[in-house]
Structure 1
């Protein structure tokens, strides 16, 4: 039997909450992981009322824990709902404030940023919310440093995601923060979802018009991911895609919201993290195999990405006697 986790994630739902974000949380934090030999989280649902009507009356949620479950959460995912002008119930906001006061990590998906702001927990802090509600959010909460262009914001003990799909991005980011890149990559594979989209990427990206010609980056991305240890450059990516570097840059901006160099560096850092997690201790080997070149560059990039040195990262996420996850 898988070993149970001691980290409790509680998802709080409220009247008219969006079921998509609830499903995202259940998929990432709530499913058992027998293939890992342990469950990553102890997951609970809770609600303010015995019966909670979900968004647009699609269904009614019942038979879940009451708000008392929030008192035991290590991570509390706060309610979101599309009627952002309607105030949250005072007892819901009180439960969120109490969780924050005792040190729980708070997560808001999409309009969940409104819940956190109404609770008074975002004043002077950065946050993300859906671009459709950016003007309304700024008008109501001028003291919050809203970034409407990013997928999610990680401000340590409070994390916010911009929209529905970015709830998955933020959830995988939390798994990566808690358990390392290798485990997060495993979870993303089960979801058949992109393993890593940086929170700083744009919420809305233009898509190429498919009936003109196929300009998808997928083939060149796959090609590059298989050769990260080689001395790949942006020029090599452009040559593989059979376009100019300027055209490649435009396509990366339009389809991924980032630059070719930033994407390539991020993929190499993630590969280096996985080598460290699997037990490789020689930094020069990790740097060479991941394409980062030197141990000094590896140290700098890893610290920039995770805030940890390679040795600290190894202590936190390296092998601890168990078998490494099969890629």
Structure 2
């Protein structure tokens, strides 16, 4: 096995772990477990409470939080344990990811297997983004530990999209190690590159709005589709526009859900254009298979989103819908890689 392939496998392992982290984060949010650990202890917080004395101390810390005082004041220590574990696992996995990146990196570094200076710079960026993601996670949690027992939906969106950017960045570097060939596409297929870029941009906006919906619990409002109740546009939206203007589309739960619904349609249409173009030019091979998978994933994700809304966001469907968004974005990034025309630096 070549050194390039070893580094690529290491990076792809990191991609898998980041995706797992995203899934665990979704479960943590949907089970209302995210504010159960009120202190951030990067080193000493590695071990969970190991006896009743430690559990009671952790529970007493939780009692100082707004969530306990306003929502969960009736909790016993056993009920507290049920929400503690998901947040603990989420933070523990973050530490594991740090070690999975650090230890092999040191091995590759000291055995001189990383000779490319550009690759070294990319790896340093990955470490920086990983550390930044940990800080943003705590910054998000802290917003729910002051007065309101809900995290800021803006901070939630930043946390989520930063995790996905990290995932896609690592994936891109791994692809460059595994498939370094130039000239994947000819002149007649350059429009695929453009439309893949458009699809990625729309999908990222949709993912951000998905985080807004999650943070504002907007998925629990208007559990009908395609209309919002009996109307295409919820009756509350015009009055909210009069009150706070365009901010309603990032702050009002009903308006945010409305935007999220229709950006989903744009995502489907943009991928539909890619499929149409693929048939028009008789696209073949790996590129055709990627476009086909995009079509399957985007339809699955759209249907899953509708079902999640109609069923008032059960945990299983909520997590699957989040995972579907990750799968769609990753497949778009892989497709974009194989529609690039030259082997240039990141995202060229």
Greater relative contact order structure (CA < 8 Å, 6+ sep)? 2
Query: Which of the two has higher C-alpha Rg?
Result: 2
- Regarding TM over 0.5, the answer is no
Of Structure 1 and Structure 2, the greater helix share is in 2
Higher strand share: 1
- Relative to the length of structure 2, the TM-score reads 0.28
TM-score by length of structure 1 reads 0.29
